[in-house]
């Protein structure tokens, strides 16, 4: 993959593009990956899909990667990874800056209904 322009949220953009390329190539997938970037401003406001300048001005930001449907990866019984329950089908996350657990939970609570309805 080659980056032509970086106007913020580069990792989620690359993940979404890679997933689309795999689908276009006809490669079978168990589920699609959906990636998003959320930023936390000093004021406490949350910004989705920031530009590069907005990303640099924020107190913290987090990249979140979800499957397109929680049903596609979660079995009937609760799934545990290394003894910990896997909530909402979150595949991975990466946080930059200081973002409390309370804010992360708020972001997840806000986003999951939108991402799981696809």
- Which candidate, 103, 63, 104, 100, places its Cα nearest to that of 87? 104
Percent of the chain predicted with pLDDT > 70: 67
Q: Which residues contact 8 (CB under 8 A, 6 or more apart)?
A: 37, 49, 50, 51, 52, 53, 54, 55
CA 69 to chain centre: 13
Is residue 110 over pLDDT 70? no
Which residue in 5, 69, 15 sits closest to 37, CA to CA?
Answer: 15
25-83 residue pLDDT tens: 999 887 788 888 888 888 878 888 889 998 888 888 888 888 776 554 444 555 555 55
Supply the mean pLDDT for the chain.
Answer: 76
**pTM over cut 0.85:** no
Q: Residue 53: which of 45, 61, 64 has the closest Cα?
A: 61
């Amino acid at each position: 993959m080659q980056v032509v322009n970086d106007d913020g949220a580069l990792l989620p953009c690359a993940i979404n593009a890679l997933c689309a390329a795999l689908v276009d190539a006809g490669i079978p997938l168990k589920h699609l990956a959906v990636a998003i970037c959320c930023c936390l401003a000093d004021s406490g406001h949350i910004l989705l899909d920031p530009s590069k300048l907005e990303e640099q001005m924020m107190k913290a930001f987090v990249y979140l990667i979800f499957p397109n449907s929680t049903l596609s990866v979660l079995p009937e019984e609760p799934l545990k990874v290394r003894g910990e329950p896997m909530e909402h089908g979150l595949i991975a996350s990466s946080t930059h800056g200081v973002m409390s657990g309370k804010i992360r939970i708020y972001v997840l609570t806000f986003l999951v209904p939108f991402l799981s309805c696809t």
